[in-house]
Amino acid sequence: MRNYLRLILNLFFRGNNLFWVLIIAKFKNNKIHIGPSSNLKNSHFYISGSENIIHVGNHCGLSGLNIYINCSGCSVYIGDKVIVSASAESPTCFYACDGGSIVIKDNCLFSNRIEVLTTDFHEIFNEQRVRYNHCSNVIIGEHCWIGMQALILKGVSLSDNTVVGARSVVTKPCYESNVVMAGFPAKVIKKGIEWKI
pLDDT tens across the length of the chain (197 residues): 444 444 444 443 444 454 555 655 456 788 989 998 999 988 888 888 889 999 999 999 999 999 999 889 999 999 999 999 999 899 999 999 988 999 999 999 999 999 999 987 777 777 877 877 778 999 999 999 999 999 999 999 999 999 999 999 999 999 999 999 999 999 999 999 999 87
What CATH code is carried by the domain that includes residue 89?
2.160.10.10
Q: Domain for residue 197, yes or no?
A: no
pTM (two decimals): 0.86
**Domain containing residue 89:** 2-191
Please give the DSSP secondary-structure letter assigned to residue 174.
Answer: B
Q: Structurally, how many domains does the chain consist of?
A: 1
Q: Measuring CA to CA, how many Å separate 173 from each of 156, 158, 185?
A: 4, 6, 12
Q: Domain for residue 171, yes or no?
A: yes
pLDDT of residue 13: 47
Q: Domain for residue 43, yes or no?
A: yes
As to burial, measured by CB atoms within 10 angstroms (0-12 exposed, 13-18 middle, 19+ buried), residue 177 is middle
Give the neighbor-by-neighbor strand order of the sheet with 101-104.
Answer: 31-34, 53-56, 75-78, 101-104, 138-140, 157-158
Please give the DSSP secondary-structure letter assigned to residue 131.
Answer: B
Q: Domain for residue 97, yes or no?
A: yes
Q: Domain for residue 31, yes or no?
A: yes
